[in-house]
Amino acid sequence: MEKERSRPSRNPERKKNATMVVPRQLFALPGVQAIASNGDSAILYKQLDRPLMERPLFSRSIALTVVLEGIKQVGLQQESIALKPYEAILMGRDLMTVSDLLSEGGYFRQYLLFFDEGTVREFLSGRRLSLLKGETSDWYSMQIDRAFLDFLSTLASTFDSLRRNPASMLRLKLLEALEWLNDRDAGIAHWLFQSVHREPANLRWLMEENFSRGLTVEDFALLSGRSLSTFQREFKRSYGTTPARWIRKKKLERAATFLSAGQLDVTSVAMELGFENISHFIRLFREEFGLSPAEYRKKTT
């Protein structure tokens, strides 16, 4: 496993590579087999026959990636991690990642397991663990042995043969997966304990850090753990405006900053911030600043 420094709908403001909230938005992607899912818990298998750069992903759950074939380059905020066959990584919730899936002339194959908070807390219950001082890493890497891969390979047939209550079996299999991993590396339980007791992202942080990532208001509600109506109500109380108007204003302010820097043209700025319809972007910008983007760029550079 190698680590290095990372490289930097018809909704006219949602770009094609907009951030996806997972696991729920992964099921329809090419090469993905949903073995089992229930809310924020899921077991997925993915197979590709060509390289692919994934859209940015924002996970509501602790996620386990197990690479079977090929290489997965996982980009985090400050670093990049290369996963090779028989290598795996646990990643914390509320974490933004971008991955390159490299088939190296053959196939790329991986398992993805998503553990909701209730499942992780059930696994941790009764264990004598304590919070450690300092920050916990966003991820935990490990080697995977043949026994665990054999366990994963049985999951599809197990769920295919079920007659009822797949949600209960999913919980049991995710707990079993955690037991397997912790049997090989007792540090996993400690990492999970630190991760679930980390203070959840607050609404202001969630919005300020991610407004330009192509997420919809519905996505933000999902990520915040609130219903859409509750999210909109709390947002209006905190910000004095609707989420959609706030996001649009922040994007336009960011666009003005980019234009003043003089390094990007109008089209590039619009696409960077998720405005696929350039005319729509120009109209909104003029309404906000009284000038077209081109006029603003000329005046401020």
Q: What is the CATH number of the domain that holds 120?
A: 2.60.120.280
Last residue of a domain, one of 139, 172, 196: 196
Last residue of a domain, one of 161, 196, 231: 196
Percent over 70 (pLDDT), the chain: 87
Instruction: State whether 76 and 190 are in the same domain.
Output: yes
Tokens 């974490």, residue? 95
Instruction: State whether 152 and 296 are in the same domain.
Output: no
Output DSSP code: residue 103: -
Instruction: State whether 227 and 244 are in the same domain.
Output: yes
* Backbone region of residue 97 per phi and psi (left: phi > 0; alpha: psi in -120 to 50; beta: other values): beta
State mean pLDDT over 151-176: 94
Instruction: State whether 24 and 154 are in the same domain.
Output: yes
Residue 163 pLDDT level (bands cut at 50, 70, 90): confident
* Backbone region of residue 30 per phi and psi (left: phi > 0; alpha: psi in -120 to 50; beta: other values): beta
Q: Quick check: 10 pLDDT over 80?
A: no
Quick one: how far is CA 239 from the chain centroid? 25
Instruction: State whether 160 and 47 are in the same domain.
Output: yes
Beta strand pairing status for 20-22 and 57-59?
parallel
Domain extent at residue 91: 2-196
CB neighbours of residue 99 within 10 Å = 20
Short-list 65, 69, 25, CA closest to 47: 69
Q: Quick check: 13 pLDDT over 60?
A: no
Instruction: State whether 217 and 160 are in the same domain.
Output: no
Residue pair 39/225 in contact (Cβ under 8 Å)? The answer is no
pLDDT tens profile 260-289: 998 899 999 998 888 889 999 999 999 999
State mean pLDDT over 57-84: 86
Q: Quick check: 183 pLDDT over 50?
A: yes
d(CA 105, CA 86): 18
Instruction: State whether 189 and 217 are in the same domain.
Output: no
Short-list 31, 32, 15, 14, CA closest to 23: 32
> How high is the pLDDT of residue 9?
38
Structure tokens that stand for 51 in this block: 């390289």
CATH number of the domain encompassing residue 224: 1.10.10.60
Instruction: State whether 225 and 257 are in the same domain.
Output: yes
Last residue of a domain, one of 196, 213, 237: 196
Instruction: State whether 82 and 116 are in the same domain.
Output: yes
pTM for this predicted structure: 0.69
Instruction: State whether 185 and 51 are in the same domain.
Output: yes
Instruction: State whether 8 and 35 are in the same domain.
Output: yes
Residue pair 56/98 in contact (Cβ under 8 Å)? The answer is yes
Q: Quick check: 66 pLDDT over 70?
A: yes
Residue 161 pLDDT level (bands cut at 50, 70, 90): very high
pLDDT tens profile 219-254: 888 777 677 888 898 889 888 999 999 999 999 999
Short-list 193, 199, 188, CA closest to 130: 193
Instruction: State whether 100 and 75 are in the same domain.
Output: yes
Mean pLDDT of the chain: 85
d(CA 138, CA 93): 8
CB neighbours of residue 183 within 10 Å = 11
d(CA 192, CA 11): 37
Q: Structural domain tally of the chain? A: 2
Q: Quick check: 105 pLDDT over 80?
A: no
